[in-house]
Structure 1
Amino acid sequence: MKPFSSRVYLLRHGELAEQGVLAGHTDFALSDIGVEQLNIACAELVNIERIISSTLKRCSVFATELANRQQIPLILTEQIREFNFGDWDGCKYEYLWQQTHSPSIGDFWQDPWHVTPPSGESMADFHERVATWWQTLLVDIAKTETQAQLVITHAGVIKQLLAIICQLPKQSQQQDIFSIGYGKLVCIDIFIDENAVSWPKIVF
């Protein structure tokens, strides 16, 4: 095949209407400020051929409106939902820090690879979910020769993707060196060689 380059914009959703909460799979909406953050982030993006979005409404509502406005395809997928915090999901941080049961939220933050939230997702499963989606996306880019696409998702997902691209040790907490603010864009350039092998790099 003929080598080509593609670009993936990773966009974290904007500010939530509900503040101070652990928003994993809980379906919170965006505040007005959050919507404006996304509008500003997308204002200068050009030649986007498609949008891929988490199904949670803090991503999907804006993604649907943008896709309709620009008349481009939209793909909604549960694979790039945020981490599932189980029984802790949707709770106020203040409440969680006051709990003393085991495992606690503090145990999880200190050792997320060995502590799983009650009724929640393990970090290993979360990593595998995101990594599988990323590899599927790379194969699809090579097949379709998509030049530019926007992915609207969550901070945890973006951190995992950056860790994968940087080839950080899977079971480390090194992905926490990345801080992704509300409505922030991360640009990934991907070179597809003649053997359909993808070579991504982070663009600052």
Structure 2
Amino acid sequence: MSGAAPGGRRLVVEADGGSRGNPGPAGYGAVVLDGVTGEVLAETAEYLGTCTNNVAEYRGLIAGLRAAHALAPDAAVRVRMDSKLVVEQMSGRWKIKHPDMRPLAMEARGVFPAGAVTYEWMPRERNKHADRLANEAMDAGARGETWRPPADAPARTPDLADPEPLPETPTVGWGGSDAPATTLLLLRHGETALTPEKRFSGSGGADPELSETGLRQAEAAAAAIAAAGGVAGVVSSPLARCRRTAEAVAVRLGLEVRFDEGLRETDFGAWEGLTFAEAGERYPDDQQAWLRDPGGDTGPTGGETFTAVARRAAVSRDKAIARHAGRTVLVVSHVTPIKSLLCMALGAPPSAMFRLELSPAGLSEIAYWPDGGTSIRRVNDTSHLHT
């Protein structure tokens, strides 16, 4: 028998938690949705200090349930998470063996009456909203700040934009929804003086301006994008080469540029300004470890891992999708963030980034559908530079 009162509201809780190191700096995020319309009713996130992924996931679950209880204590709640462990344990199908998990599970079970909450696993790519909140909380904690919801938080979650009852079994890809895709038009910045020399140029070294060639490339891209039309917003890395490229397009479109720190290039640490060969001569062990496992915990000497770049690029992606759902957004960024988004859309491993080529002012395009599916429409289109 359900513990929810007859006629009570239907709510959906989507929750996630993460740890950068496992254990390491951790945080959670959770969102409460109306179970019929998909309207966002509440968001919560918190930096937890140092703990494991599983603890952070349970903390996100508890916070989401409490937020739902505060809205409607008699509700029937469906929890959706990408943690198979938490879903199976809370559903009673798996035993809770770890002593740290047992009190957390008991706390989660005590929020609502028995029978009022059901649990459902969903793929990670569908849990974008809660994942974004968790990463925002971790980023805020790293800055010594407390997470607070943004003033322009979306009224609906992008995955539930269609005002119909939620499906009992989420699908990915061919969901049959009539809702339009959100398209990210990905533009790499124009050339700088370091580009033809193939030197590492990231967030940790100089901030070079566009060269004369780069300025011409930016204008050519701007002309092509303006001629095609349909762009509803422009978001850019704040680094000078992207800023100048984005502004060239925005002027033609009559739009303002929003700057997002998550779209910065990798911090290449001690490799900044070096060629690949020079970095290999000076830091051979680090470079070989990085090449063997680009998706692991090894990055350029003293720099940033591709995993960290992909994580923040994903947060920036989700913000852009939430802000411009169903429309086209121009994203001006660098090689690594753009390649990361392409690999994530393909479901390809980080090593695939070494097999992708992105030319200065090259355009790529990804469509993100409300049912969680993605479609890559073009990669490194430079036709506008040759007309």
How does the TM-score come out when normalised to structure 1?
A: 0.83
* Contact 1:138/1:198 (8 A) holds in 2: no
User: How much identity, in percent, do the aligned residues show?
Assistant: 25
Distance 2:276 2:284 in 1: 16
Query: Which consecutive unaligned segments of at least 5 residues does structure 1 have?
Result: none
Summarize the alignment of residues 149-168 of structure 1 with structure 2, pairs less than 5 Å apart. Answer: 149-168=329-348
User: Per-residue deviation at 1:31?
Assistant: 1.3
Over 3 Å counting, the alpha-carbon distance change for 1:62 and 1:198 in structure 2 is same
Distance 2:253 2:299 in 1: 41
Aligned residues: 194
Distance 1:34 1:79 in 2: 23
- Mark the structure with the bigger radius of gyration: 2
Distance 1:7 1:160 in 2: 16
**Which of 59, 62, 72 is the aligned partner of 2:245?**
62
**Which of 82, 85, 93 is the aligned partner of 2:265?**
82
Return the structure number with greater relative CO, CA threshold 8 A, min gap 6: 1
Summarize the alignment of residues 187-202 of structure 1 with structure 2, pairs less than 5 Å apart. Answer: 187-192=365-370, 197-202=371-376
Matching of residue 35 in structure 1 with residue 227 in structure 2: no
Greater CA drift, 153-162 or 31-40 = 31-40
* Contact 1:103/1:117 (8 A) holds in 2: no
User: Secondary structure, in 3 states, of the residue corresponding to 1:44?
Assistant: helix
Matching of residue 9 in structure 1 with residue 171 in structure 2: no
User: Secondary structure, in 3 states, of the residue corresponding to 1:51?
Assistant: strand
Matching of residue 133 in structure 1 with residue 316 in structure 2: yes
Distance 1:122 1:97 in 2: 17
Query: Which consecutive unaligned segments of at least 5 residues does structure 2 have?
Result: 1-161, 164-178, 379-387
Over 3 Å counting, the alpha-carbon distance change for 1:43 and 1:198 in structure 2 is farther
User: Per-residue deviation at 1:55?
Assistant: 0.6
**Which of 262, 286, 290 is the aligned partner of 1:104?**
286
Distance 1:5 1:127 in 2: 22
User: Secondary structure, in 3 states, of the residue corresponding to 1:43?
Assistant: helix
Greater CA drift, 130-139 or 105-114 = 105-114
How does the TM-score come out when normalised to structure 2?
A: 0.46
- Note the aligned Cα RMSD (angstroms): 2.2
Over 3 Å counting, the alpha-carbon distance change for 1:69 and 1:191 in structure 2 is same
Match of 2:358 in 1: 180
Greater CA drift, 81-90 or 68-77 = 68-77
**Deviations 1:2-59, CA, capped at 9 Å, x for gaps:** 7123322101111112333111113112111112122222322212221111111110
Distance 2:192 2:299 in 1: 25
